[in-house]
Structure 1
């Protein structure tokens, strides 16, 4: 009879296969493989990727300093036993890191050829200054930083492989930010959230496709980012002096985004775009724009509404329009403007979906709804959500002229 022998086939697999298996597991589970046998005691410390999140720490630990000490135990084991490269490190658990520990760990990661470094939200009274060695890490492809101070070393020559850069609660000067972004030749995704200290945002990035900004700036320039296809700007602009306003901001900032496909803007930024004369339409049509999302638009503001209509008139292929409404009152100038638009005979021949959320039931809001329904011949769905009280009555909506025979109107209330 054939003898049955216990063969440890898994332990004898090539390391790249084992690494693939262990990396796909939560780090805590990968570490538990150390109890399998002597061979497995330190295999987990040799992984090519480390993601430290809440699942790595005991659930009863709430003290942020103690949580960091537990994280340091993991880091210490890795530093003692690791051989080979570390391609990805992600810190995604709320803790209070010791800056010296974090600096030494980043130094270790750069020596290991790190490609993706992600530092998400942690607790720190004082911002952590990034070690200069990070900026001599040419293979970085993804960099996400939180609560850091960024100052480039004199030897910085750029990140030739960096495709994604996300900065949150980071302190960085306008000049440093411009140099950093401008020296990432393959950068495709840029996110800037709650940035500290910059006054002017200038983007020079020929390959950039996706941009999200939620921060304060005095001014913004996007004219050197020709491939931008998705832009989300929730910019809180520091008010400009009259002598600083040289041209219409709508034309200067948005008019250069001729390849844009999806555009999200907030009310604070609409105020900035409305500085100076707002044209009926932009000099260059936004032919690729298929989705427009405007947040907290005020239908009592004639300038907000002018910006809205300038964008609509400049987007002949728009398919989806999403609007959330800020607190509004009746406004005669806006009502007169909307009625004048009805006489111009402008039509939206590609618009299929309209969502208007948070209306207050004011006359300008109702006039806008009438305008869209009367000038959108292929409209399929309009969703209207009222902020308070009863939803818009069916009888009122039935009386509104519709250019589309097939449009379905959904009326809701919050």
Structure 2
């Protein structure tokens, strides 16, 4: 008598999937993380064949090396075995595709956690892999190595044969040899080009490379260094320096450019829509475009006198929708006109005293800095949201209120959200500092950290709520100190005045508590109505050093309380 094993439903489903055409199975593998896609090769013979014909070869060093392994000597047998596994895996996959005449659509290698000293004797494998991929019609090539000015990897000339290349990403200790200048490159299919922290044997080789990508649409050049091997007696890297200038001509398809660390740049690209330019820190910089008419998004970083550049060019950018100024040196007073401007960021630009924004369609304005400039809006949209991130210390006791009062017109405060990095050493005398007037009401306050000392709880929170009254206030759980104790204290602080306590001073205006009628606590869309519920929720939170953007929010309402919160007058 024969006994047949009944296959479970999972096996039946796997059988139905495995008979699908290879193109569909490859599409399924392409939607999985690289590590999970590789695991399908052990499911069955059919899936193994599918995996080895899959035209995407991707390998990350972190999948082969544990962090302790990376601290070992290159001569250590364990380290050598890990490296052999990595090399064997990539070689086997590529060799099988290459020898069967199958396509290699993508080759992505990330080895930035393996030091150059460990890899240098194995660089010939990289040459072989790029050679096979180029001969197999590679479309996407990504190579990430550890940054090195001593033992770098010379990109092989065989890459010029990769005529089907659409995306080239090079990061780390990779050097473009001057020999590329002697070749007529034919990268006519390249749409995306990214060079990050690579070395240039000749400063001209980068321009030469880019000029032979006439259809490039997305170009990223970050901290690329012209470099020649050091002479005898020179320390490693002593002959490396930043690229001084770059001119890009004839790139009619170029839509997005991100350039960092180049002193002078000229771009001839009529269809450019998105430009991010970061100069070297506080160096003189020059940025010029052949046309600004299609520019929609502009970000400037470390640009000296950026406001003067904008004063001349903003009228030439009629459709600009997004503007970011970060770590730029500016005049004390700047004007930002923009009839189409929707998003504006002003980040860490010192010495500002006055910012005038004339943008009637503005939807979002973000500010981060240590100054309290007068920020005025003209013709504001009813959809405007203002977000500010402020660092505080014990010397800035009046600065928060001053910053809020410097926003004009005052109706903007109904859309103002403050993210405050509060002080760790607030002087306890803050508890006796009277406010000069009732605190202005703002939309939201977010605290990203707080003093772990319980003696600081009251003076800091009383000072904050005396400076401004937020409709909601939230506390981040992304920090390692115990927030539970503070959460309970703050709730009881808000509710404590029902017993007759008050935070007013003997002379002066009424304190913030007199307008407080309703307190509502929410976490992950759930409402908590009393301190016992709050304690239970806090005790249920996992003890961990880091949370993913998790907050506890307190809604503070003025006036007569509603049914969805606690009315202090009714307690």
Change (3 A) 1:90 1:143: same
1:63 aligns to 2:70 (yes or no): yes
Change (3 A) 1:264 1:383: same
Residues 319-376 of structure 1 show CA distances to partners (whole Å, capped at 9, x for unaligned) of 2211112454xxxxx75xx5xx97xxx8332223211112334xxx2x3x1xx23x24
Unmatched runs of 5 consecutive residues or more in structure 2: 227-242, 422-571
Alignment equivalent of 1:360, drawn from 349, 366, 371: 371
1:289 aligns to 2:320 (yes or no): yes
The Cα shift of 1:165 comes to: 0.4
Q: Is the 8 A contact 2:258 2:276 kept in 1?
A: yes
Provide the residue aligned with 1:378 in structure 2. Answer: 381
Change (3 A) 1:402 1:46: same
Residues 73-131 of structure 1 show CA distances to partners (whole Å, capped at 9, x for unaligned) of 10232244323111001113422432111111111111111000011243654221111
Provide the residue aligned with 1:265 in structure 2. Answer: 300
TM-score by length of 2: 0.57
- Equivalent residue of 2:303, what SS? helix
Change (3 A) 1:112 1:360: same
Provide the residue aligned with 1:226 in structure 2. Answer: 270
Change (3 A) 1:410 1:44: closer
Change (3 A) 1:211 1:79: closer
Change (3 A) 1:290 1:126: same
Tell me the distance in 2 between the aligned counterparts of 1:256 and 1:218.
20
Q: 103-112 or 30-39: which moved more?
A: 30-39
Provide the residue aligned with 2:347 in structure 1. Answer: 324
Q: Is the 8 A contact 1:376 1:404 kept in 2?
A: no
Provide the residue aligned with 2:128 in structure 1. Answer: 104
Residues 32-69 of structure 1 show CA distances to partners (whole Å, capped at 9, x for unaligned) of 44444555555423220022125642546622753433
Provide the residue aligned with 1:349 in structure 2. Answer: 360
The Cα shift of 1:193 comes to: 1.2
1:171 aligns to 2:199 (yes or no): yes
Change (3 A) 1:211 1:238: same
Change (3 A) 1:407 1:156: farther
Tell me the distance in 2 between the aligned counterparts of 1:33 and 1:352.
47
Change (3 A) 1:90 1:183: same
Q: Is the 8 A contact 2:145 2:174 kept in 1?
A: no
Alignment equivalent of 1:213, drawn from 259, 266, 270: 259
- Equivalent residue of 1:63, what SS? helix
Q: Structure with the greater relative contact order (CA < 8 A, sep ≥ 6): 1 or 2?
A: 1
- Equivalent residue of 2:266, what SS? strand
Change (3 A) 1:158 1:317: same
Change (3 A) 1:393 1:54: same
Tell me the distance in 1 between the aligned counterparts of 2:312 and 2:323.
15
Structure 2 counterparts to residues 21-60 of structure 1, below 5 A: 21-37=28-44, 43-53=50-60, 56-57=63-64, 59=66
Provide the residue aligned with 1:202 in structure 2. Answer: 247
Change (3 A) 1:283 1:319: closer
- Equivalent residue of 2:327, what SS? strand
Provide the residue aligned with 2:153 in structure 1. Answer: 128
Tell me the distance in 1 between the aligned counterparts of 2:25 and 2:219.
34
Tell me the distance in 2 between the aligned counterparts of 1:357 and 1:28.
39
RMSD of aligned residue pairs (Cα, Å) = 3.4
Q: Is the 8 A contact 2:58 2:107 kept in 1?
A: yes
The Cα shift of 1:388 comes to: 1.8
Q: Is the 8 A contact 2:292 2:316 kept in 1?
A: no
Tell me the distance in 1 between the aligned counterparts of 2:125 and 2:156.
12
- Equivalent residue of 2:59, what SS? strand
